[in-house]
Amino acid sequence: MILLSPSILSANFATLGEDIKLIEETGVDMLHIDVMDGCFVPNLTFGAPIISSIKKITNLPLDVHLMISEPSRYIDDYIFAGADILTIHVEADKHVDRTIRYIKSKGIKASLAFNPGTPLTPLKYLASSLDMVLIMTVNPGFGGQSLIDYSHDKIKEARLIAEKENKALLIEVDGGIDETNIISIVQSGANVIVAGSSIFKNRNINGNLNKLKEVLKNEGYNNF
């Protein structure tokens, strides 16, 4: 089963509520929200108050990706705001195991992200505690980048670890995914697809989403 998690980083913030409603009506599985602090990544986006507002207008699970330094300091804020899945970066937290356990103790799904150049070694030890792992296929901070080719090998490695340590582990992939490469990403082992620019480009949200779904259906992924 392949899940779609559109990233609102590429949405029109002036009509964000309308864009989210259109995504919801078109049919997706969750909503990906990138929180950036201008420190861990070279960009600023939005924080807990915006997520709280989004929670009020959608029934989609909120897939909240914390691209921030010292995420453990803010876990409660994002849980209170309405996050259903919280992703922290392995590079940003000094005590990753502790933070994951804390997230889980609050009844929230926990996910761990890896930047393109970061080895997956910690995943071997943490997979059993996680609900999801996020493989970044671009360097985080900005939308519209091209997928890094060696990412396929990391996705395959993550799938092998999941098969050994936690078969229920979701493997999410984020960065540069469109109709030309989504199948190769899925075939490498991903089952949660984050897409931003390829969904919101040309303001044809419905058409772009359906194009991604059609490509998946044509390859036998018929869960839509």
178 is catalytic: no
Given the residues 34, 37, 63, 93, select the one marked as catalytic.
34
174 is catalytic: yes
Phi first, then psi: what are they for 27, rounded to 5°?
A: 105, 95
Provide the CA 45 distance to its chain's centre, in angstroms.
15
* CA–CA distance, 137 with 153 (Å, rounded to integer): 11
Structure tokens at 179: 């109709």
Phi first, then psi: what are they for 188, rounded to 5°?
A: -75, -20
* CA–CA distance, 9 with 45 (Å, rounded to integer): 8
Given the residues 63, 93, 131, 174, select the one marked as catalytic.
174
CB 184, CB 152: distance < 8 Å: yes
What's 114's DSSP letter? E
Structure tokens at 125: 């030890």
Residue ranges in the chain assigned as alpha helix (H) = 16-26, 48-55, 75-81, 96-105, 121-126, 151-165, 182-188, 197-200, 205-218
Structure tokens at 150: 């060696």
Q: Which residues are known to be catalytic?
A: 34, 174
